[in-house]
């Protein structure tokens, strides 16, 4: 039985690897074409060369791999299962003792390995590679991370006051540019403004070190008619230590798309939003999607297994493989539809993210039972 399992694992892993490499080569080619537009640009004394473009594109491979792994698992598994069925190899395996439940357990174990690989790539390798790519582009092209035309906005509560913080851009090395802080008291009156050219989050994550800060303090006094008049005191500081609980990870979360964030950083950002009475629905859905996304590898192998029990005519394998691929693509489309609908309808984030996987798991197990167990 170990020999049979080794045969299944060897052929399936080889097919999945081939599919993943084919897709990655395609993405690499198109990404390189896109990067070639920057080749020859000069920033200071540095010129962006073809080698720099190749480095930037190569560092994007882990992120593409994370996105492609489930569909590669599906295509590779379907191809191997269908080939086993067409060549009658799976029939021989069944007569050698590979029953339906043992076959299902074998494929689930293989899928679990790809779940671990997807988590490792998505939460550790891809974010690290993306940060390296940002550092390279900042060095050779002077590019920074921004969000929209107004930068990143964050909110924080501190001793009964509410702070609105705006950062125009975040450099790849973590330096902040174009910082604005607006502090309001419990009555909604502005009591403090800080404008700084640049800054850096302290390593202890207890505050920011601001450079060339302009500070405006507002003090309100009632006049004879009872109306309040604001008195403004202005000052400048070449350097200023501003205490805040906003960390560099929260800034990254505000600047980057949530689907590009590691799961832990996304969870911490959600807790920050909730603590400051801000809507976290979109981020919660994305968090649970990132939790369940690697598990889709299990759905893919279960979806592929029934193909081993079909009867193929000579040359008829391509149509079944195409049908299986379309089913896999529909899974990812349904995943996106549920994500958008969950945001609009305020559905439970966990159920919104889990629903597509549950639906397709039930359908896959139903197909498996119909084709296998009933026989």
Question: Alpha-carbon distance 21 to 55, whole Å?
Answer: 18
Has residue 35 got a pLDDT over 80?
Answer: yes
pLDDT for position 142:
62
Section 31-53 average pLDDT = 81
Is 342 or 65 the better-scoring residue by pLDDT?
A: 65
Instruction: Record the tokens describing residue 162, joined without a space.
Output: 């509410």
Is 270 or 311 the better-scoring residue by pLDDT?
A: 270
* 240 contacts 196 by C-beta, under 8 angstroms: yes
254-273 b/e with 16+ CB inside 10 Å = b?
A: bbbebebbbbebbbbbbebb
Instruction: Record the tokens describing residue 39, joined without a space.
Output: 């080749």
Q: Which of the listed ranges 54-58, 221-225, 226-230 does the model predict with the highest average pLDDT?
A: 54-58
Is 131 or 257 the better-scoring residue by pLDDT?
A: 131
Has residue 340 got a pLDDT over 90?
Answer: no
pTM, rounded to two decimals: 0.77
């Amino acid at each position: 039985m170990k020999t049979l399992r080794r045969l299944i694992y060897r052929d399936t892993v080889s097919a999945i690897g081939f599919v993943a490499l084919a897709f990655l080569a395609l993405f690499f080619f198109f990404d390189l074409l896109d990067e070639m537009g920057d080749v020859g640009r000069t920033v200071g004394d540095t010129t962006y060369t073809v080698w720099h473009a190749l480095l930037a594109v190569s560092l994007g491979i882990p992120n593409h791999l994370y996105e492609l792994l489930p569909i590669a698992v599906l295509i590779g598994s379907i191809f191997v299962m269908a080939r086993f069925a067409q060549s009658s190899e799976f029939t021989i395996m069944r007569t050698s003792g590979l029953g339906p439940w043992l076959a299902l357990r074998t494929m689930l174990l293989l899928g679990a390995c790809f779940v671990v690989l997807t988590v490792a790539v998505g939460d550790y390798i891809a974010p690290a590679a993306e940060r390296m790519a940002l550092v390279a582009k900042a060095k050779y092209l002077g590019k920074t991370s921004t969000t929209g035309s107004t930068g990143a906005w964050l909110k924080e509560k501190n001793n009964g006051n509410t702070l609105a913080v705006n950062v125009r851009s975040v450099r790849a090395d973590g330096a902040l540019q174009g910082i604005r802080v607006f502090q309001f008291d419990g009555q909604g009156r502005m009591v403090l403004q800080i404008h700084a050219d640049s800054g850096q989050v302290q390593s202890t994550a207890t505050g920011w070190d601001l450079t060339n800060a302009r500070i405006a303090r507002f003090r309100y006094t009632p006049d004879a008619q009872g109306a309040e008049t604001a008195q403004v005191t202005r000052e400048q500081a070449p350097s200023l230590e501003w205490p805040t609980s906003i960390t560099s990870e929260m800034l990254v979360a505000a600047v980057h798309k949530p689907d590009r964030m590691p799961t832990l950083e996304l969870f911490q950002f959600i807790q920050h939003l909730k603590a400051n009475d801000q809507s976290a629905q979109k981020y919660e859905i994305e968090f649970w999607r990132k939790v369940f996304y690697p598990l889709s590898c299990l759905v893919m192998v279960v979806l592929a297994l029934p193909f081993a029990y079909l009867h193929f005519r000579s040359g008829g394998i391509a149509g079944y493989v195409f049908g299986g691929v379309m089913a896999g693509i529909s899974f990812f489309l349904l995943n996106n539809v549920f994500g958008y609908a969950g945001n609009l309808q305020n559905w439970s984030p966990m159920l919104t993210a889990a629903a597509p996987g549950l639906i397709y798991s039930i359908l896959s197990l139903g197909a498996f039972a119909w084709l296998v167990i009933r026989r």
